[in-house]
Chain A
Amino acid sequence: MAEVMELNYTVSNEDFTRAGEASSDVKKKLKQLGVSPEAIRKVAIALYEGEINMIIHAYGGQIKVTISEEMITLVLADRGPGIADIEKAMQAGYSTAPDKVRSLGFGAGMGLPNMKKNSDTMDIKTELGVGTTVTMTINL
């Protein structure tokens, strides 16, 4: 795995039953590449949480996964409403998800803390009315 590899996905918010397809594909590809199970688990959880967020809180978006010798970088960019207070959003249990989302099994306010826990670095760039970009790295 000497070369740097890049995977790109467009995530749509139209069909919630397809939410997670990008994360699922990334997981399969990392397995084929022989990435360690521990790293795959971290990537799978962090990416899936991020993918769900861009569907339930924004209008879908773009996912870019870069795999190098040293690390896996996940970039999730959306053109959604943005996050008003990142500090609050990072707290476990804080969620603005409507009841409809909760009835689908999400919206406990656990996603962002879980993404932080499963990544080695995490950075959120957000602007109200413009969008949010979450960048995470997982060391190999």
Chain B
Amino acid sequence: MTVNDILTILDANCIAGKDGLDKEVLTACGSDMMSDVLAFAHTQCVLLTGLCNPQVIRTAEMMDIVAIIFVRGKTPDDTMKAMADEQGLPLLVTPHRMFSSCGKLYEKGLTGGLVDG
């Protein structure tokens, strides 16, 4: 699955970081706690979140996250968009809620990856 496929599956808009739309996605992680993302996210993962602040972009940068999906129509501000553009990190905005968004992706074959530790 690519970030572009996710765009279609989640009826989403890409509002920044369009350079990264062709990247391959292997797993997904849904959380509003960046602490959890830092502890559990796998490689080539997309992040689904309802949190909308610059720390979400930083966390994604640190974890090499492939794209961020903001659920429930949360819209990142210009600072966040500029950070994402610089990294080629796609920011997707979906009208769907967290549970539905995760469900739709899971249904299409995307999983959370193995639990380690």
- Asked if residues A107 and B55 are in contact (CB atoms below 8 Å), the reply is no
Interface check A105, CB cutoff 8 A: yes
User: Which A residues are CB-close (under 8 A) to B8?
Assistant: none
B85 within 8 A of A: no
Is A32 part of the binding interface, using a Cβ–Cβ cutoff of 8 Å?
Answer: no
Which residues of A, 1-41, contact B by the 8 Å Cβ criterion? 16-20, 23-24, 27, 41
Pair B33/A106 contact, Cβ less than 8 Å: yes
- Interface majority SS on B: helix, strand, loop or mixed? helix
Tally chain B residues at the interface, Cβ within 8 Å. Answer: 21
A17–B32 CB distance below 8 A: no
Chain B residue at minimal CB-CB distance from A95:
B35
A61 and B39 CA atoms in complex are apart in Å by 23
Shortest Cβ gap from B112 to chain A (Å):
17
Q: Is B39 touching A44 in the complex (CB atoms < 8 A)? A: no
Flag whether B110 is at the interface (Cβ < 8 A). Answer: no
A114 at the interface (CB under 8 A from B): yes
A-B contact list, 9 entries, CB within 8 Å: A17-B79, A24-B58, A41-B64, A44-B62, A45-B62, A45-B63, A106-B33, A109-B35, A111-B35
Which residues of B line the A interface, CB within 8 A?
32-36, 38-39, 43, 51, 53-56, 58-59, 61-64, 79, 117
